[in-house]
């Protein structure tokens, strides 16, 4: 096939020269089991098929009567070879490209699975159509032979290399016609389209662990808590309060209990930076750190919303196991926090014992933390100031939303009372 393609291209008056990687592209995809095959319909901008030398004329209009073989080749090289579909634990190896077609940017056939599949049976574009290669869309239908019509599928869409910033919208259509939408950037790895509860749980444990270790602001806040208070009992009390608080707001946000305004995420990010500044200043000015848990609880509520912003991008992979996934993410965050504390406490003890006095060490480190977080806060305030915060109106809230927020206040209050009583008993036992 390649020999024929090359031979044909040699005799063309003009070929599309190899072009650079696109900055941004959007990939649309549908996957559904139909009888003995699973159909994967994909739409991608033709310009993402680099180095294919599509024949053109004029300023870049495609020679539509000469590119059918090249589109098949492009679909294999740039798409099919970077996609793995699994049925259960079995990777489906014997896929085939059933069809390709060139579509106009105005074509709306990929609005749902049925119309996308039907589009491959329609006549090709007229050969004399003037379609610039940068506007053309490549539609590809790939068939994967399957052994059952069940839902135990997973897919690895490794398409991040199609552009500098590849956004993929994948719709999985279940045998009963229900749809599950996945949106992600780059290559997310293997996506379980109908995960079991333990697969969802494990995925989100890892996600929570990765997030806490990759979130420098959360780590610095915990470091501020640990810095002057490294004794086991007060440390357990403080971290437990912080954990309970961020678990409440994380769960609330996952169920949609966040203001539907654009300025809320940057506000939370600014307040997280402010929490580090406050705790660092408290480390400098305060002498007694034995009863610090209420302020840790208060800031934990803010950090929980911060965790939820990261979780919102991955919650789509939970399948039908929302609660299990939330618990897994929380557990991953707690493991990450514990990991950080286990490392930080011995290092600080060693530092204050052999290198610098504890009082001076806490002062120096707290000043550095406050200075860093202060600049974060100013930067985030600039972002926040670009939004119109007046858009939020309590009068626009529904009765259901009022009840939800009232319920959240009740939960927070009950948690505070429970922690107060529990910590008192815990301290008395010591």
Record the pTM: 0.72
Same domain flag for 186 and 208: no
Same domain flag for 58 and 178: yes
Same domain flag for 116 and 212: no
**Taking Cα atoms as reference points, which of 314, 46, 21 lies closest to residue 189?**
314
pLDDT of 2 reads: 42
The neighbour count for residue 305, using CB atoms within 10 Å, is 23
> pLDDT per residue over 198-209, tens digit each?
888 998 899 889
Same domain flag for 271 and 384: yes
Q: How far apart are the first and last CA of the chain?
A: 79
- At residue 399, does pLDDT exceed 80? no
Point out the domain boundary residue: 164, 194, 224: 194
Q: What six digits make up the tokens of 293? A: 């848990």
Same domain flag for 183 and 269: no
Look at the chain and report how many structural domains it folds into: 2
Same domain flag for 183 and 278: no
Same domain flag for 25 and 158: yes
- At residue 96, does pLDDT exceed 90? yes
With pLDDT > 70 as the criterion, what percentage of the chain qualifies? 91
> pLDDT per residue over 85-94, tens digit each?
999 888 999 9
Average pLDDT, the chain: 86
Sheet of strand 83-87, all strands in order from the earlier edge strand to the far edge? 90-91, 83-87, 153-157, 190-192
If you write DSSP's letter for every residue of 278-337 in order, what string do you get?
A: HHHHHHHH-S--TT-HHHHHHHHHHHHHHHHHHHHHHGGGGTT-HHHHHHHHHHHHHHHH
Same domain flag for 256 and 185: no
Same domain flag for 154 and 212: no
Same domain flag for 174 and 273: no
Which domain covers residue 177, as residue numbers? 2-194
pLDDT of 28 reads: 94
State the pLDDT confidence band at 129, using cuts at 50, 70 and 90. Answer: confident
- Given a contact cutoff of 8 angstroms between Cβ atoms, the answer to whether 44 and 166 are in contact is no
Q: CA-to-CA distance for 270 and 241, rounded, in angstroms? A: 21
Same domain flag for 187 and 258: no
Point out the domain boundary residue: 153, 172, 194: 194
> pLDDT per residue over 316-345, tens digit each?
778 778 889 899 999 999 999 999 999 999
Point out the domain boundary residue: 160, 194, 228: 194
Please compute the mean of the pLDDT values over residues 276-301 and round it to a whole number: 89
Q: CA-to-CA distance for 42 and 51, rounded, in angstroms? A: 20
Same domain flag for 47 and 84: yes
If you write DSSP's letter for every residue of 7-75 in order, what string do you get?
A: HHHHTSS-BPPP-PPPSEEEEEEEEEEETTEEEEEEEEEGGGSTT---BEETTTEE-GGG-HHHHHHHI
pLDDT of 248 reads: 92
């Amino acid at each position: 096939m390649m020999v024929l393609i090359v031979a044909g291209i040699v005799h063309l008056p003009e070929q599309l020269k190899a072009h650079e990687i696109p900055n941004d592209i959007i990939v649309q995809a549908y996957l559904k089991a139909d009888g003995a095959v699973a159909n994967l319909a994909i739409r991608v901008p033709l310009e993402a098929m680099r180095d294919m030398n599509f024949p053109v004329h004029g300023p870049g209009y495609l020679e539509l009567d000469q590119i059918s073989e090249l589109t098949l080749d492009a679909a294999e090289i740039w798409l099919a070879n970077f996609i793995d579909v699994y049925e259960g634990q079995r990777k489906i190896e014997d896929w085939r490209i059933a069809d390709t077609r060139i579509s106009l940017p105005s074509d709306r056939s990929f609005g749902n699975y049925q119309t996308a599949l039907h589009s491959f049976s329609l006549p090709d574009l007229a050969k004399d159509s003037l379609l610039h290669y940068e506007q053309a869309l490549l539609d590809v239908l790939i068939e994967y032979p399957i052994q059952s019509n069940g839902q135990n599928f997973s897919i690895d869409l490794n398409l991040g290399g199609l552009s500098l910033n590849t956004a993929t919208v994948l719709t999985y259509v279940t045998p009963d016609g229900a749809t599950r939408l996945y949106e992600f950037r780059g290559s997310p790895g293997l996506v379980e389209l109908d995960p079991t509860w333990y697969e969802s749980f494990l995925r989100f444990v890892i996600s929570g662990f990765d997030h806490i270790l990759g979130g420098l602001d959360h780590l610095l806040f915990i470091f501020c808590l640990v810095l002057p208070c490294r004794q086991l009992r007060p440390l357990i009390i403080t971290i437990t309060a912080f954990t309970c608080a961020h678990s409440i707001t994380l769960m609330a946000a996952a169920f949609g209990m966040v203001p539907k305004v654009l300025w809320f995420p940057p506000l939370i990010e600014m307040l997280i930076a402010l929490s580090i500044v406050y705790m660092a200043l408290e480390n400098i000015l305060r002498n007694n750190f034995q009863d610090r848990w209420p302020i840790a609880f208060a800031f934990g509520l803010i950090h929980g919303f911060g965790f939820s912003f990261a979780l919102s991008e991955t919650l789509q992979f939970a399948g039908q196991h929302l609660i299990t996934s939330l618990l897994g993410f929380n557990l991953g965050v707690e493991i990450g926090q514990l990991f950080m504390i286990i490392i930080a406490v011995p290092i600080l003890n060693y530092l204050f014992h052999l290198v610098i006095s504890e009082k001076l060490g806490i002062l120096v480190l707290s000043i550095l933390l406050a200075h860093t977080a202060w600049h974060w806060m100013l930067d985030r305030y600039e972002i926040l100031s670009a939004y119109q915060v007046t858009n939020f109106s309590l009068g626009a809230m529904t009765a259901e939303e009022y009840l939800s927020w009232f319920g959240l206040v009740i939960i927070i209050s009950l948690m505070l009372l429970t922690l107060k009583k529990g910590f008192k008993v815990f301290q008395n036992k010591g």
